[in-house]
């Protein structure tokens, strides 16, 4: 049975660190991704080397070209992708390098936005304010991700049509306002027209946080009073209490993306 286990090495480009109070209870950002990916039901073991990119620690491009990694995940961050600083600009350069060399990359929240900006899209602060906690996203019918990954797509969306939705946890007030050329949006809602996007053999990204748990988002937003309006926090706490997201379906869809053979 052990011989059937697949192995992937996914580099985690970690774009932030939780504050000590959150980190002490839940572990840091990388732990959330280990927890998420470990829920997969695809008999796949994940090695997750971590790169503190916000501290300008990036993987060797030589190692990348030598196929040391099966791909990369870009995490969330409290920073803005529009910041003009060394690590943010270097990250965008790496994203373009990934694109040029067809290195598979998953973006989550900040990572989703960084991919968009690096590839010619735009990210802006929405007039709708903060999106926090558990919210539904709607599915675009007959999208390319579904065609390339029918099983994981059906597991993730339970065979739902574009009239239906799934839920994911959010923590953002900036959105992808212009989708880069060559990318396909496959999920949206009233808050943003681009909640998830896909480019075959290259990119797969969500605005939401599949790695977050209800207890984690409650802790995060409770500690951001003064930054996030109280009514938004209270609504977010209630949404988290009712949250019932199957993390394994998100984990499977991410791993299936990395397992897909390039054409």
Helix (H), strand (E) at residue 12: strand 6-14
Tell me, what's the pLDDT at 105? 99
pTM to 2 decimals?
0.93
Distance between CA 205 and CA 106 in Å, rounded? 5
Residue ranges of domains in the chain, CATH in brackets: 2-259 (3.40.50.880)
Q: Could you report the per-residue pLDDT of 91-102, keeping only the tens digit for each? A: 999 999 999 999
Tell me phi and psi for residue 136, to 5 degrees. -80, 150
Q: Rounded to the nearest 10 degrees, what angle do helices 247-259 and 150-157 cross at?
A: 170
What region does 204 belong to: left with phi over 0, alpha with psi -120 to 50, or beta? Answer: beta
Distance between CA 60 and CA 79 in Å, rounded? 24
pLDDT-based confidence at 161, cuts 50/70/90?
very low
Higher pLDDT, 110 or 164: 110
- CB atoms closer than 10 angstroms to residue 188: 19
Distance between CA 254 and CA 123 in Å, rounded? 23
Beta strand 50-52 pairing with 6-14:
parallel
Average pLDDT for the chain:
92
Tell me phi and psi for residue 73, to 5 degrees. -120, 130
Tell me, what's the pLDDT at 142? 62
Identify the three-state secondary structure at position 132.
strand
pLDDT-based confidence at 1, cuts 50/70/90?
very low
pLDDT-based confidence at 166, cuts 50/70/90?
confident
Average pLDDT (50-79) is: 98
pLDDT-based confidence at 157, cuts 50/70/90?
low
Contact 134, 171 (CB under 8 A): no
Of 22-31, 58-67, 240-249, the poorest mean pLDDT is in 240-249
From the list 116, 263, 262, the residue with the least C-alpha distance to 196 is 116
Q: Could you report the per-residue pLDDT of 184-234, keeping only the tens digit for each? A: 998 999 999 999 999 988 999 999 999 999 999 999 999 999 999 999 999
CA-to-CA separations, 108 to 76, 207, 231, 246, in angstroms, rounded: 6, 6, 26, 17
Contact 129, 173 (CB under 8 A): yes
**In the Cβ-directed half-sphere of 195, how many Cα atoms lie within 13 Å?**
24
Contact 99, 202 (CB under 8 A): yes
């Amino acid at each position: 049975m052990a011989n059937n286990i697949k192995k992937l090495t996914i580099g985690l480009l970690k774009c932030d660190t939780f504050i000590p109070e959150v980190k002490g209870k839940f572990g840091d950002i990388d732990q959330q991704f280990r927890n998420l990916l470990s829920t997969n039901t695809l008999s796949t073991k994940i090695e997750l080397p971590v790169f503190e990119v916000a501290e300008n620690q990036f993987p060797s491009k030589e190692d990348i070209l030598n196929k040391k990694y099966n791909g990369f995940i870009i995490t969330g961050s409290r920073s803005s992708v529009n910041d003009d600083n060394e690590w943010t600009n270097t990250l965008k350069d790496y994203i373009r390098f990934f694109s040029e060399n067809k290195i598979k990359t998953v973006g989550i929240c900040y990572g989703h936005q960084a991919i968009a900006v690096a590839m010619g899209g735009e990210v802006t602060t929405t007039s709708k304010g903060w999106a926090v906690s558990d919210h539904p996203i709607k599915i675009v019918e007959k999208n390319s991700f579904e065609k390339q990954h029918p099983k994981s797509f059906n597991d993730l969306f339970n065979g739902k049509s574009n009239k239906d939705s799934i839920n994911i946890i959010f923590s953002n007030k900036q959105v992808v306002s212009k989708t880069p050329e060559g990318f396909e949006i496959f999920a949206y809602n009233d808050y943003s027209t681009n909640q998830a996007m896909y480019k075959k053999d290259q990119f797969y990204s969500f605005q939401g946080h599949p790695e977050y748990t209800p207890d984690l988002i409650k802790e995060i937003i409770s500690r951001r009073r003064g930054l996030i309006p109280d009514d938004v926090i209270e609504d977010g706490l209630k949404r988290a209490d009712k949250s019932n997201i199957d993390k394994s379906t998100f984990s499977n869809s991410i791993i299936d993306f990395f397992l897909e053979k390039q054409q």
